[in-house]
């Protein structure tokens, strides 16, 4: 379950740790904003496993893409992308974030739907899915930086 470890190690820990080091205490907004970042980086790993799934299966390497198959991998990918948006929606429902903070994540969710569909396509489709996934991570991360700056976190 390297995807979970990477989501925590490259999403949650750096954001929460940096906020703690700078503020000297726990920063709840940083914890909230770290969740979608962790989801987006986990999605990068999931998408990158797909092109190698057949070779991995032949070598008895049991990655998530091998274990879940094409349909299951697409569902997991879409679920992880939805969890990123849902975590920010939770922040809105708790009045921690303004409602406009969902504009970009909802747009990114639309791109994630395209990428999820492409995960079971041709080599060209897979390349587009991976590029879209990387773009989602980049755009989402920049959006979270803006949210943190506007919210004073």
Q: What is the pTM of this model?
A: 0.91
State yes or no: pLDDT of 66 exceeds 70: yes
Q: What is the average pLDDT score of the chain? A: 93
Q: Which domains does the chain have, with CATH numbers?
A: 2-151 (1.20.120)
Q: What is the pLDDT of residue 152?
A: 65
DSSP the chain: -HHHHHHIIIIIHHHHHHHHHHHSS--HHHHHHHHHHHHHHHHHHHHHHGGGHHHHHHTT---HHHHHHHHHHHHHHHHHHHHHHHHHHHHHHTTSS-GGGGHHHHHHHHHHHHHHHHTTS-HHHHHHHHHHHHHHHHHHHHHHHHHHHHHT-
Share of the chain above pLDDT 90, in %: 76
């Amino acid at each position: 379950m390297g995807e979970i470890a990477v989501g925590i190690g490259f999403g949650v820990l750096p954001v929460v740790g940096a906020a703690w080091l700078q503020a000297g205490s726990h920063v709840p907004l940083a914890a909230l904003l770290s969740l979608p970042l962790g989801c987006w980086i986990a999605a990068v790993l999931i998408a990158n496993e797909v092109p190698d799934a057949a070779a991995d299966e032949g070598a008895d390497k049991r990655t998530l893409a091998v274990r879940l198959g094409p349909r299951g991998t697409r569902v997991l990918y879409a679920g992880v992308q939805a969890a990123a948006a849902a975590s920010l929606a939770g922040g809105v429902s708790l009045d921690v974030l303004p409602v406009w903070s969902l504009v970009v994540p909802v747009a990114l969710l639309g791109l994630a739907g395209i990428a999820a569909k492409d995960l079971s396509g041709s080599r060209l489709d897979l390349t587009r899915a991976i590029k879209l996934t990387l773009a989602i991570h980049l755009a989402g991360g920049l959006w979270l930086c803006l949210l943190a700056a506007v919210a004073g976190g």
